[in-house]
Amino acid sequence: MSTATVEETSVVVAPEPFWTRQRRLGLTLVLIGLLAAVLFGALAPSEQARFTLSDDAEGAALSINGQLGAVLFGILTIVAGGVLLAGLAKRRQTALLGLGILTFVLSFLCWQVAGKFMPLVDTTSGTMQLALPLILGALAGVLGERSGVVNVAIEGQFLMGAFAGALVGTMATSVWAGLISAAVGGLIIAAILAVLSIRYLVDQTVVGIVLNLFALGVTGFLYERLMQNDASAYNEPPRLPEWRIPGLADIPVLGPVLFDTNLLVWVALLLVVAIHFGLTRTRWGLRTRAVGEHPTAADTVGIRVRGLRYLNVLMGGLVAGIGGAYFTLVATGSFTKNMTAGAGFIALAALIFGRYTPFGALGAALFFGFAQKLATYLSAVGSPVPSQFLNMLPYLATIIAVAGLVGRVRAPAADGLPYVKS
C-alpha cells in the first residue's frame, strides 16, 4: 500500500517541474522540424513532387513543389512542437504529436519525391499488407500480456502458422483448411508457452525464446526433408482470394486498400475493434486486465487466474497463427525456411510501441509497415538515404518508447509474473 501513499504525497509535494513530458516532446518536435525545414528543404530540388492517385505517373495526382513542401511541412512540425512546448493545449497532446510526426514524414517525402512520383494506392496498400502480420502478431501479444503472460514467441507462432498453412493448404488443396491449420499451428506454440509458464512457472521470456528456436528448427527441418523434395505435393497452397466490394472499392486510395483485398485485412481490423471493446467493455476484459494487473486481487473475488491466462494465451496463439498464414497464403504462396525473418519481433515492438492496446498496436503496425514500404520505394527510386535506415525504424521507435522519451509505456503490473497461490 505504500506506493499508493506515495502517489498521494506526490500530488501535493511535487511542484510541477518545468520539463514535463509534454515539453520534452514539444522540444523534440521543434528540433526535428528544424531539421526537416532546413536540411530536407536545402537538399530537395525545386521540382514537383507528385503523389499519384493511380498506379502510374499519369492521371490525377496531388503535387507540390518538393522544396516548398519540405520547408512548409517542416515548419508545421515546428508549430506542432511549439504548441506543446508552450504548454498550450494540454488535452490535445496525442493529436499534436501525431500531427508533428505526420508533417515530418511529409516533409521527408517532399524531399524524396521531388522530381519524381509516388503512387499513393500502391504505397497505402503495400503499407497495409506489410502491416497485416504485425497487427495480428501484436494483437496476440495484447491478449497474452494484458492477462500477465509475456509472449516473445510471436515469431515462432508466425513460423508455425505459416508452415502449417502451407502444408495443410496444399495437401487438402483448400485455402480454408490451410488458414485453420495456420491458426492451430500458432495455437500449438501458445499451448506450450502457456503450460510451461503458467503451470510450471518457467521464466516466460526464456520459454518464448526457446519456442522461437524450436519453431525455426522444426519448420526448417520439415521444409528441407519434405517440402523441398516434392513442392507440388506439400508446398503449393492455394492463395487467399481477393474480394472486391462494388461501390466501396471505388473510393479513391482507401477503396482499393480496404475493399478490394484479401480476407485477412478485414479479420485483422475486426479483431482490433473486437479486442478493444472486449478489453474495455466486457466482463472478460475487466477480468483479464485485473489478472494482468493484480492477480491476487482477482483471486480473492473468485476469478480463476490461471484459467483466464490459459484462455488468453491460447486465443493469442490462434490470432498469431492466422498472422503466420499471411506469409504463405497471401504474400508468397509457398513456405521457405525462416521466411518470417523477424516479423514476430517487429510485432512485439508494435505491441510495446502501441502501449499494449489494440488500437495502439494497429497504429504502430501501420507505422512500421509504412516504414518498410517506404524503404522499398526509396531503393527503387535510387534515393541517397539507405533503405536500412528505414528498416531499422521499428527497433529504434521501440527503444525510444521503452526508454520513456515519448510518453512512458507501462506494461501491465503483473506482466511476466507467474501466479502462485500463497
Catalog residues that contact another protein under the rule CB under 8 A: 1-15, 281-284, 286-287, 289-290, 293-294, 296-303, 413, 421
Query: Are the C-beta atoms of residues 160 and 221 closer than 8 Å to each other?
Result: no
> With the C-alpha atoms ordered 324, 181, 185, 320, is the resulting torsion angle positive or negative?
positive
Q: Which of residues 159 and 272 has its CB atom nearest to another protein in the complex?
A: 272
Q: Which of residues 4 and 380 has its CB atom nearest to another protein in the complex?
A: 4
User: Rounded to the nearest whole angstrom, what is the least distance from the CB of residue 356 to another protein in the complex?
Assistant: 12
Query: Are the C-beta atoms of residues 94 and 363 closer than 8 Å to each other?
Result: no
Supply 228's cell numbers.
Answer: 523441398
**From CA 236, how far away is CA 330, in angstroms rounded?**
12
Q: Which of residues 301 and 380 has its CB atom nearest to another protein in the complex?
A: 301
DSSP helix/strand/coil, 99:
helix
CB atoms within 10 A of CB 341: 13
Q: Which of residues 244 and 410 has its CB atom nearest to another protein in the complex?
A: 410
Q: What is the DSSP letter of 249?
A: G
Q: Which of residues 176 and 284 has its CB atom nearest to another protein in the complex?
A: 284
User: Rounded to the nearest whole angstrom, what is the least distance from the CB of residue 354 to another protein in the complex?
Assistant: 17
CA distances from 311 to 184, 187, 297 (A): 14, 11, 19
Q: Which of residues 15 and 382 has its CB atom nearest to another protein in the complex?
A: 15
User: Rounded to the nearest whole angstrom, what is the least distance from the CB of residue 140 to another protein in the complex?
Assistant: 21
**From CA 153, how far away is CA 193, in angstroms rounded?**
8
H or E element that contains 403: helix 393-403
User: Rounded to the nearest whole angstrom, what is the least distance from the CB of residue 72 to another protein in the complex?
Assistant: 38
Query: Are the C-beta atoms of residues 315 and 184 closer than 8 Å to each other?
Result: no
Q: Which of residues 244 and 281 has its CB atom nearest to another protein in the complex?
A: 281
CB atoms within 10 A of CB 229: 10
Q: Which of residues 231 and 406 has its CB atom nearest to another protein in the complex?
A: 406
What does DSSP say about strands 242-244 and 260-262: parallel, antiparallel, or unpaired? antiparallel
Backbone angles phi, psi at 55, to 5 degrees: -90, -5
User: Rounded to the nearest whole angstrom, what is the least distance from the CB of residue 402 to another protein in the complex?
Assistant: 16
User: Rounded to the nearest whole angstrom, what is the least distance from the CB of residue 144 to another protein in the complex?
Assistant: 18
Those residues with Cβ within 8 angstroms of residue 1's Cβ, 6 or more apart along the chain or in another chain: none
Q: Which of residues 15 and 247 has its CB atom nearest to another protein in the complex?
A: 15
Q: Which of residues 16 and 56 has its CB atom nearest to another protein in the complex?
A: 16
CA distances from 290 to 56, 81, 184, 301 (A): 52, 36, 28, 11
The closest alpha carbon to 393, from 134, 162, 42, belongs to 134
User: Rounded to the nearest whole angstrom, what is the least distance from the CB of residue 15 to another protein in the complex?
Assistant: 8
Alpha helices in 57-119 (DSSP H): 66-85, 93-113
CA dihedral 395, 326, 128, 352 (to 10 degrees): -30
User: Rounded to the nearest whole angstrom, what is the least distance from the CB of residue 421 to another protein in the complex?
Assistant: 7
User: Rounded to the nearest whole angstrom, what is the least distance from the CB of residue 285 to another protein in the complex?
Assistant: 8
User: Rounded to the nearest whole angstrom, what is the least distance from the CB of residue 183 to another protein in the complex?
Assistant: 21
